[in-house]
Amino acid sequence: MLYVEILGNLPEMARDEVRAMLELAGEEVVGQDYLLLKVTGDERVFPHLNRLGLAHEYGELIVEAKSIEQLLEKAEKAKWPIRGAFKVDTETMANCRHNVTDLPRKLGAAIHARGFRVNLSKPDTVVRVYCGERLYTGIRLRFFDPKEFEMRKAHHRPFFRPISLHPRVSRALVNLTKARREILDPMMGAGGILIEAGLLGLKVYGVDIKPEMVEGAERNLRHYGITDYEVKLGDATRLEELFPGRRFEAVATDPPYGTSATLAGRRRDELYRAVLRSIYNVLKPGGRLVIAFPADFRGEEEAGKLGFRPVGRYYQRVHKSLDRYFYVFEK
Ligand SMILES: C[S@@+](CC[C@H](N)C(=O)[O-])C[C@H]1O[C@@H](n2cnc3c(N)ncnc32)[C@H](O)[C@@H]1O
């Protein structure tokens, strides 16, 4: 059994991102305790979990218990796949029901008694403890360093536009499409979504109505070493003409929210409806669209009229005058 610790700011979206990646590997989420997910699978799912954007870490779940006494008892008998020296690191989640003050020391002693060395400053293996409704302990296998995402934030790119999503969110949008080979962003802006997709090895296709965006997105893609891309100047409401005969496996996009500059002179809701229709026409049957809309646009209703099936919807308050939903639709 494995565990994934998701981030707390978009928890439902984070959980569904994990689900989407597990589905690609034929595995599933079998339990949840606040930000800790219990998931099935072995090393064959690692390449899929390594794609995650909204996760803190994943690892091997060794013991689950309903009390501290039970945790220690089970830990004394468990098989610990520890390499080198270890340390115990505890995560007290907001729903923690147990007094874990002494737990790291006691658990450390129990594992040490099994013949493993402790090294608090430079451990080779981190033993994680999670306190929620229940208690869990496991071996950390991968930590998602926030710095890796931070360094791809909009202001670090050669072509800078403040409209970009956080790279972790862009990454999650890509993953929620369950793309295996390719993805299209028909309103790519500075290319934030395509950068994350390209780094996962997907072939990326991008469109924008403004020439400076097409040029800028290309510069950004190259900056991050992405070479398998096709970016075009064009209109997201006419994708059938831009890609004649082409059907895409996945689409993810973040349309403009309504300032006249970014809407390129169109009425907002009309533009959204036309974009949804055009995306529907170039998506393969069974393919997924992940798209953001301001909360006052009825995304599900409009997409439903075209034949899209709703799969997920996640609310995010961006600032005082903007809240939005991220939608996942399937054709
Ligand atoms: C919010 S930005 C996308 C930001 C992008 N997701 C990122 O992270 O960098 C929306 C983009 O849609 C483009 N756009 C507006 N109307 C369009 C249309 N009809 N067809 C294609 N692109 C359009 C704008 O030029 C703008 O660059």
Ligand 1 pocket, 232 CB below 6 A? no
Is a pLDDT exceeding 60 seen at residue 260? no
Ligand 1 pocket, 167 CB below 6 A? no
Confidence label for 265 from pLDDT (cuts 50, 70 and 90): low
Is a pLDDT exceeding 90 seen at residue 310? yes
Structure tokens at 192: 């934030």
Each residue of 157-193: pLDDT tens digit?
999 888 789 999 999 999 999 999 999 999 999 999 9
Q: Which of 189, 166, 194, 176 has its CA nearest to residue 329?
A: 176
Confidence label for 123 from pLDDT (cuts 50, 70 and 90): very high
CA dist., res. 76 & res. 86, Å (int): 16
> Region 202-227: what's the mean pLDDT?
98
Confidence label for 319 from pLDDT (cuts 50, 70 and 90): confident
106 Cβ contact list (under 8 Å, min separation 6) = 68, 72
By most ligand atoms within 8 Å of CB, the mutation choice from 185, 188, 233 for ligand 1 is: 188
Q: What is the pLDDT of residue 262?
A: 60
Is a pLDDT exceeding 70 seen at residue 48? yes
Residue 259 Cα to ligand 1 middle (Å): 11
Look at the domain 2-144 and name its fold: VC0802-like (3.30.2130)
The model's pTM: 0.96
Q: What is the pLDDT of residue 264?
A: 63
Each residue of 268-304: pLDDT tens digit?
999 999 999 999 999 999 999 999 999 999 999 999 9
Q: Look over the chain and give the mean of its residue pLDDT values, rounded to a whole number.
A: 96
> Region 108-123: what's the mean pLDDT?
97
Residue 210 Cα to ligand 1 middle (Å): 8
Is a pLDDT exceeding 70 seen at residue 140? yes
Ligand 1 pocket, 207 CB below 6 A? yes
Q: What is the pLDDT of residue 164?
A: 81
Q: Which of 69, 64, 76 has its CA nearest to residue 109?
A: 76
Report domain extents, the chain. 2-144, 148-330
- DSSP-derived pairing of the beta strands 283-294 and 248-253: parallel
Each residue of 1-21: pLDDT tens digit?
999 999 999 999 999 999 999
Q: Which of 12, 13, 4 has its CA nearest to residue 36?
A: 4
By most ligand atoms within 8 Å of CB, the mutation choice from 262, 276, 291, 326 for ligand 1 is: 262
Closest atom of ligand 1 to 210 CA is 25
Confidence label for 306 from pLDDT (cuts 50, 70 and 90): very high
Is a pLDDT exceeding 80 seen at residue 87? yes
Percent of the chain with pLDDT over 90: 93
> Region 113-122: what's the mean pLDDT?
96
Q: What is the pLDDT of residue 162?
A: 81
Residue type, 107: L
Residue type, 37: L
Ligand 1 pocket, 237 CB below 6 A? yes
> Region 57-74: what's the mean pLDDT?
98
Is a pLDDT exceeding 90 seen at residue 233? yes
Q: What is the pLDDT of residue 101?
A: 95
Percent of the chain with pLDDT over 70: 98
Ligand 1 pocket, 235 CB below 6 A? yes
Residue 164 Cα to ligand 1 middle (Å): 10
Look at the domain 148-330 and name its fold: Rossmann fold (3.40.50)
Residue 255 Cα to ligand 1 middle (Å): 5
